[in-house]
Structure 1
């Protein structure tokens, strides 16, 4: 008997299926999203943090008041979707109908279709005692926002992976629990519900694995496991539309990746083998094949990197104030973008992540300072000095004090350091 295929957990395109049942605006709202259609989708899985929610039944349209007094619901929605994202937490507290509207796919799909969705930076960090915490940064208002705590199984975990699917779901997977060892567990945070949810477990227990997202599917490969053969060759992929994991071809050799990037539709990985030798491999999703990589792109690649608009960039110094650009024609990292204002070599100022943000490059450091680089503005003469902008920082005096204190007390005494950094849209 053929297994019934489940509809997608989250549809990236706009749909009208998650509108409050009492709204009369489904037909009218279609004019805001050309080509949108009704679809059948299950509700997002129950939150990890349980809450008591009463299921509404029957037709409530006659008894309920409109979303905004004096306005039809379609116009009310047109107003609410334009409220800045920083205020959405307050909107959810107004009434149950507003809460249901903001917790569904429809509201944020509409914002995305109209080009008013906002990107925030999410930083996961570990303190001196090994505890995990995280924060969200709003680049428009340049403010840090509180978030629901990370579930207990990841509060002290080591070597867990992190990736974003559908632009709004942040996944944590694998890792090593200090007491239970290597894990298969997968959880995800949704910007649409502001809660953590469970996802299907991985097929293998692994930590310190490599991961990437291609065509909105999550790929995980290598890492360490339990037992004699700790270094893993196996790889697997999670498809959110099918809501399940499946194995893909094994890597050529077992590896613990320490860096990876997707470029030209291929997944490049670089890591250490069982004999502590440096290995490089590339995966081609179309053919489901791995093969060793030895060319110039991999040989000169050693720092966090990201692909933006088809161009590959990498950090070229510890403080992230100089970038390297991969030249595909010469097969080398021969181009550079330099801010000409370096911060120092302390670990607090060390660049921990390079991520894309609103069409620009974003550098995040361990002291939570953030610099945005407009790589599209470094072509004209004289524009290179103006393309670097600090949107969250400690100031020049505090930077000087940080370097001085680091030299006095030693560079390893950090209050916290960044483990993962991602961009989520809502």
Structure 2
């Protein structure tokens, strides 16, 4: 039997060092330049693995060459942080100091604080054979970037959750392993180091559950568990600062959620109960309480959906070329943003995700085509057309016409080869 290779066990809060929130300039950079001081919170164990004895800090720094010849290190870093994210893999190959610098929290904290950090779209797909793969799209160069493989335990998993914490950590958790059944396992990918790591297991095994992030805490609720012939009511939360899971209040009724969104600080969930009835609940973190909800927002709610700048959006057609906006004043989905460029109803053109990206809404389809919508300008239209608000940034399959779709269906070639199961945005 093949030995399972697990990702390295490291503390999941290593990215949440004080540099992220306390550093505004490159002044005094020598405190954080690799080789002089590690950028880790002192109250966190940096690694569970034994390490070799290293020379004293003063011995290392005295023999180091500058990051860029002829420049002090603070000016060198001021230059390096402005290099496009797509080139960082090449920069790491220049020398050891550059490699350590570009794998540090300090480097990416500066990019974040100066507004230089770039957002990439990460797409998790399942192919025709049920295998999981994932891909990263760089909207600056508009190309797909290579990624390390998904860890073996999630290469064929079903019903697992996916969420982002701290802007740079993509978590995969729970789900069902085809051989071992329901899982409690939690792993995460660090966009700053381009590596997978382990995090504490969930408190309960579950699959096909709801998940969200509120105040940088990861919430999961409902779903199913092997051996339990009914929907789960239990819910739990992971706090990365404490690096542990805790139970929260149970849901009013167990359900398997098929749609969820955070809106106005509350977590809305809609799904199927034990008797296949449609249920909807909302969770308030401050009160740690659940209660049923049946208003116009829930009744007209469709998947995928997301919130941006206090507004709630949902796709209104299969190809995602028409957006609906929830109007709280009338408690209805009365506003529409239409591209007038519909792509057809094939499975390949079906919109699988709706996520915020650089202040705009991003629509990702199963054929990996991507559209951006500048919803910030929608209120200024006053009845005029919204077509100019739409932009195509990834066009694979985008120009397939309705006639071509029909011909492919008649020829039997329109069967979906793969489909998107999760989509997130990571910053680095």
TM-score, normalised to structure 2, is 0.89
Aligned to 2:147: 147
CA contact (8 A) 2:40 2:46 kept: no
Render the CA deviation track for 1:378-406: whole Å, top value 9, x for unaligned. 23344612100000013665445761354
User: Cα 1:279–1:17, aligned 2, differ >3 Å: closer, same or farther?
Assistant: closer
Question: What does 1:80-229 correspond to in 2, within 5 Å?
Answer: 80-229=80-229
Distance in 2 (CA, whole Å) between partners of 1:408 and 1:248 is 51
Distance in 2 (CA, whole Å) between partners of 1:16 and 1:340 is 43
Aligned to 1:387: 389
CA contact (8 A) 1:203 1:245 kept: yes
1:26 aligns with 2:24: no
Report the Cα offset of residue 252 of structure 1: 0.5
Please give the secondary structure, in 2, of the residue aligned with 1:404. Answer: helix
Distance in 1 (CA, whole Å) between partners of 2:359 and 2:399 is 30
Aligned to 2:421: 419
Render the CA deviation track for 1:402-424: whole Å, top value 9, x for unaligned. 61354225587212100100000
Distance in 2 (CA, whole Å) between partners of 1:390 and 1:44 is 43
CA contact (8 A) 2:233 2:254 kept: yes
User: Cα 1:200–1:337, aligned 2, differ >3 Å: closer, same or farther?
Assistant: same
CA contact (8 A) 1:232 1:255 kept: yes
Please give the secondary structure, in 2, of the residue aligned with 1:379. Answer: helix
1:261 aligns with 2:265: no
User: Cα 1:409–1:156, aligned 2, differ >3 Å: closer, same or farther?
Assistant: farther
Question: What does 1:261-410 correspond to in 2, within 5 Å?
Answer: 261-381=261-381, 382=384, 384-394=386-396, 397-400=399-402, 403-409=405-411
Please give the secondary structure, in 2, of the residue aligned with 1:237. Answer: strand
Distance in 2 (CA, whole Å) between partners of 1:358 and 1:377 is 14
Distance in 2 (CA, whole Å) between partners of 1:254 and 1:13 is 40
Report the Cα offset of residue 69 of structure 1: 1.0
User: Cα 1:289–1:410, aligned 2, differ >3 Å: closer, same or farther?
Assistant: farther
Distance in 2 (CA, whole Å) between partners of 1:261 and 1:255 is 16
Gaps of at least 5 residues in structure 2 are: 1-10, 34-38
Please give the secondary structure, in 2, of the residue aligned with 1:26. Answer: helix
Report the Cα offset of residue 40 of structure 1: 2.8
Distance in 2 (CA, whole Å) between partners of 1:256 and 1:107 is 41
Distance in 1 (CA, whole Å) between partners of 2:165 and 2:81 is 22
CA contact (8 A) 1:349 1:365 kept: yes
Gaps of at least 5 residues in structure 1 are: 1-5, 30-36
Aligned to 1:34: none
Greater alpha carbon shift after TM alignment, 400-409 vs 220-229: 400-409
Greater alpha carbon shift after TM alignment, 98-107 vs 80-89: 98-107
Distance in 2 (CA, whole Å) between partners of 1:16 and 1:252 is 38
Specify which of 35, 39, 42 is matched with residue 40 of structure 1. 42
1:57 aligns with 2:55: yes
Greater alpha carbon shift after TM alignment, 398-407 vs 269-278: 398-407
Please give the secondary structure, in 2, of the residue aligned with 1:196. Answer: strand
User: Cα 1:160–1:402, aligned 2, differ >3 Å: closer, same or farther?
Assistant: farther
CA contact (8 A) 2:161 2:172 kept: yes
CA contact (8 A) 1:119 1:425 kept: yes
Distance in 2 (CA, whole Å) between partners of 1:222 and 1:277 is 15
CA contact (8 A) 2:315 2:322 kept: yes
Report the Cα offset of residue 16 of structure 1: 9.7
TM-score, normalised to structure 1, is 0.90
Report the Cα offset of residue 99 of structure 1: 1.3
CA contact (8 A) 2:224 2:230 kept: yes
Please give the secondary structure, in 2, of the residue aligned with 1:333. Answer: strand
Distance in 1 (CA, whole Å) between partners of 2:339 and 2:21 is 46
Distance in 2 (CA, whole Å) between partners of 1:263 and 1:295 is 14
Distance in 2 (CA, whole Å) between partners of 1:150 and 1:402 is 34
CA contact (8 A) 1:16 1:38 kept: no
Distance in 1 (CA, whole Å) between partners of 2:28 and 2:127 is 50
User: Cα 1:41–1:106, aligned 2, differ >3 Å: closer, same or farther?
Assistant: farther
